[in-house]
Chain A
């Protein structure tokens, strides 16, 4: 079953702008992961943030996690046309034996 709810469902921005997307979930988690998927392709792992972490950076990506609100955000700074993709959050609930539960995803389009 899907646990994550992502917001917005779609996002259209210009190159150079920042893109922010949010993910909410319902159960206690061990970690939360963000993935990118280009159209018709597999998923690329972006960042894993554990339940005891609040913020993590990787290049132009910044992920926050608020376990009290059961929410996470992914910020892409200075976006590029190559960032055009679908972005999914996936939680690993503490009782799931490591199974990922994916959100519905945010489709991001970056226009030059």
Chain B
């Protein structure tokens, strides 16, 4: 099946710094990628939809200046958490969709961000 990778898997940073998370579709081209956030023992919350070559679409309540998304190619999307604070600590998961809007999404393994 289609494989999606994320890097890094874990990151610890100091408050005020920025952190970049990469999401790659390894064996297919993904026109659309999604970024989710998950709190412990909770469900996934969609943060934004990322289309290659265009600006990301953010969900209501998600700060676009804080969570910068770039989808530079059909296999790579990046999420940058700017000026991170402890409340940004979370599990961030990306997914990539192959083909039409009603097709399944393939998820990356997630990135655990801890902000001290």
- Which A residues have a C-beta under 8 Å from some C-beta of B? 2, 30-31, 33, 35, 40-45, 48, 88, 92, 97-105, 107
Contacts and interface: CB of A to CB of B under 8 A. Distances in A.
A41 B105 contact: no
Interface in B61-106: 91, 93, 95, 97, 100-106
A80 B8 CA distance: 31
Contact of A41 (B103, B104, B109): B109
Contact of B107 (A42, A48, A92): A42
A31 B105 CA distance: 12
B43 to A, nearest CB: 5
Would you call the interface of chain B mostly helix, strand, loop, or mixed? Answer: strand
29 contacts: A33-B104, A42-B93, A42-B107, A42-B109, A43-B95, A44-B107, A45-B106, A45-B107, A48-B104, A88-B43, A88-B44, A92-B102, A97-B49, A97-B101, A98-B32, A98-B101, A98-B102, A99-B46, A99-B49, A100-B44, A100-B46, A100-B95, A100-B105, A101-B46, A102-B43, A102-B45, A105-B42, A105-B43, A107-B41
Nearest to A105: B43
Given A42-B93, A88-B44, A31 B109 contact: no
Contacts of A97: 49, 101
A112 B104 CA distance: 32
B114 to A, nearest CB: 13
A38 B91 CA distance: 13
Nearest to B105: A100
Counting chain B CB atoms within 10 Å of each CB, which of A40, A98, A103 scores highest?
A: A98
A45 to B, nearest CB: 5
Interface string B1-18: 100101000000000000
A104 B102 contact: no
Contacts of B103: 98
Please name the 6 residue pairs, one residue from A and one from B, whose CB atoms are nearest each other, closest first. A98-B101, A43-B107, A42-B109, A42-B107, A102-B43, A102-B44
A104 B43 contact: yes
